[in-house]
Structure 1
């Protein structure tokens, strides 16, 4: 007589899913989890007993159906998802899947707006107040939000960033009202608990994606308007002037990833402290070559200098994300024990 299949908890299903997809795919999933979620999931995986092929298949199938339903809901709402799933899987199975989702699945607001290109979004918020713009940008992908933020007037950029950083929760009714207004505008252009949005992390993700000039303007203006907020944001991100906080080994690793011409151009607009730090971590031969480049280099556009500096910053961020270097944040989190 066949053994009765175990009824797995949600945590056990997550563990089985990670085991079933293999370590490479599981590693990609881990990149999107918080430290607490990683700890919880890792514990579940380590305490999971032997999993049968039947259980693996059941979990993978449930995950696929759930992801499929989420996709249909995002594209056209719950009714659209129900209609498509009815045709694909039958009414009974569709009701089962959507029944599980209604309690646990939340469709992120502004889905319709997220499909628009940045220029459309800029036009959409042109006459909106900073609070509404801050709400919308909190829900956009960082790269798209950065494009929109960069296109806003300078004084509004800082106002929006300040409001995003101080935003903690917004009532769902207000979010839905704003969402409906934006959807109607985009259409004309051709195209129960509070919900947590914004915060320092959202601001940092966006500023990390804007160009060097916009980043510099926002942070310098915030220094004057709200020094404490500005410092909180800087602690969570890395800017060009922070180069000197790197260890000699780290900056040497970074500079190997950057073209010699970009290093020379970046130094054109660097402070003496940054310039000396970078030069001291180059080989004697490369130092001489860059000095020669600087001697014959004519006047440079500020934008070109900032772009070169941004390339170095991007190299730092990439190497930090991969774990190849450690960037001091000044909060004690980088202390080695």
Structure 2
């Protein structure tokens, strides 16, 4: 009878720190190039970028960790009745169960063949600077429409690269977008055809809105956020308040469940945590400390004490950094974030 394999502590530690995306990256690297390429063809542009970055980050993991990831994957597969790769209904059902109806539909609209023929989708494969240069000379409404189609993090990067005087107007237009009718999309497609020389199928689209503007603002720097919100408030204070109310801010973490917070805390840089908690509400501090081991909480408190007074801007940027990480984990389906008013931010 074979003796049980005893894992070393370091291997267990590495495995416990791996995110779901990094585990997927390890599995991808176990496949042949052709098989891996076929899988990538079925992912959205942002998913490809996240997975590709994860593949670089796990290059140095040891064989024991790889075996652990493979064992976990096989255990999950054994619990399924079938894999069903490539089946439209299967993909739709899995996404709906994992992400909920609204987010699943959003992802499907990006990765299904019908959607991929739209010229606007080419932007997802471009970097922020290229997109900003591409749309700089367009009408603000066209710019707002295009930015509304982008992943929120990419949209924030594009917004940052546009002229400062233009930024509040773009955010205001995004926040007041609702259902975009075919005639408006037709004008947008004309712009894209001019850029990429392609045809496309038109349909009414639900893009933009206060929530989209808020999510884009979540990814901007604190100073930029304050300047844009102040400018919007001059023309429409109600709109500014609506955007703020839909933004996910650091204090909202107190509404999230302990399991999600524990996963988030394992993904955060220690320096950012120390700075962010220096300016946090006492109730939030205690909740986060309660999601750590007694030793980790004590170490963090000691570091906060030793740090002494810090600038408010440093605290705000650290909190923003943590929220960006939290939103990425939420978008990956790794954690669930609860927003203001009990609304789920996914």
Tell me which interval the TM-score lies in, with the shorter structure as reference length: 0.5 to 0.7
In structure 1, the residue corresponding to 2:341 is in which secondary structure?
coil
Distance 1:127 1:38, change over 3 A: closer
Is 1:294–2:304 an aligned residue pair?
Answer: yes
Is 1:165–2:175 an aligned residue pair?
Answer: yes
Which runs of 5 or more residues in structure 1 are unaligned? 1-16, 40-66, 71-103, 185-191
Match of 1:330 in 2: 341
Matches within 5 A, 1:310-321: 310-314=320-324, 316-317=326-327, 318=329
In structure 2, the residue corresponding to 1:229 is in which secondary structure?
helix
Out of 99, 102, 107, the residue aligned to residue 117 of structure 2 is: 107
Out of 96, 109, 131, the residue aligned to residue 30 of structure 1 is: 96
Distance 1:269 1:324, change over 3 A: closer
Instruction: Give the length in aligned residue pairs.
Output: 250
Give, in angstroms, the shift of residue 281 of structure 1: 6.2
Is 1:152–2:130 an aligned residue pair?
Answer: no
Is 1:176–2:189 an aligned residue pair?
Answer: yes
Match of 1:75 in 2: none
Distance 1:238 1:129, change over 3 A: same
Is 1:118–2:128 an aligned residue pair?
Answer: yes
Contact 1:118 1:147 in 2 (8 A): yes
Contact 2:169 2:232 in 1 (8 A): no
Distance in structure 2 (CA, Å) of the matches to 1:270 and 1:21: 46
Is 1:142–2:152 an aligned residue pair?
Answer: yes
Distance in structure 2 (CA, Å) of the matches to 1:105 and 1:251: 35
Give, in angstroms, the shift of residue 121 of structure 1: 2.0
Contact 2:210 2:242 in 1 (8 A): yes
Matches within 5 A, 1:45-56: none
Question: Greater relative contact order (Cα 8 A, min sep 6): structure 1 or 2?
Answer: 2
Give, in angstroms, the shift of residue 134 of structure 1: 0.2
Contact 1:122 1:152 in 2 (8 A): yes
Give, in angstroms, the shift of residue 37 of structure 1: 10
Distance 1:328 1:201, change over 3 A: closer
Distance 1:194 1:257, change over 3 A: closer
Is 1:133–2:146 an aligned residue pair?
Answer: no
Give, in angstroms, the shift of residue 216 of structure 1: 5.5
Distance 1:326 1:18, change over 3 A: same
RMSD after superposition: 4.7
Give, in angstroms, the shift of residue 208 of structure 1: 4.5
Q: Which has the larger radius of gyration?
A: 1
Distance in structure 1 (CA, Å) of the matches to 2:333 and 2:255: 19
Distance in structure 1 (CA, Å) of the matches to 2:145 and 2:299: 49
Out of 234, 250, 270, the residue aligned to residue 240 of structure 1 is: 250
Match of 2:78 in 1: none
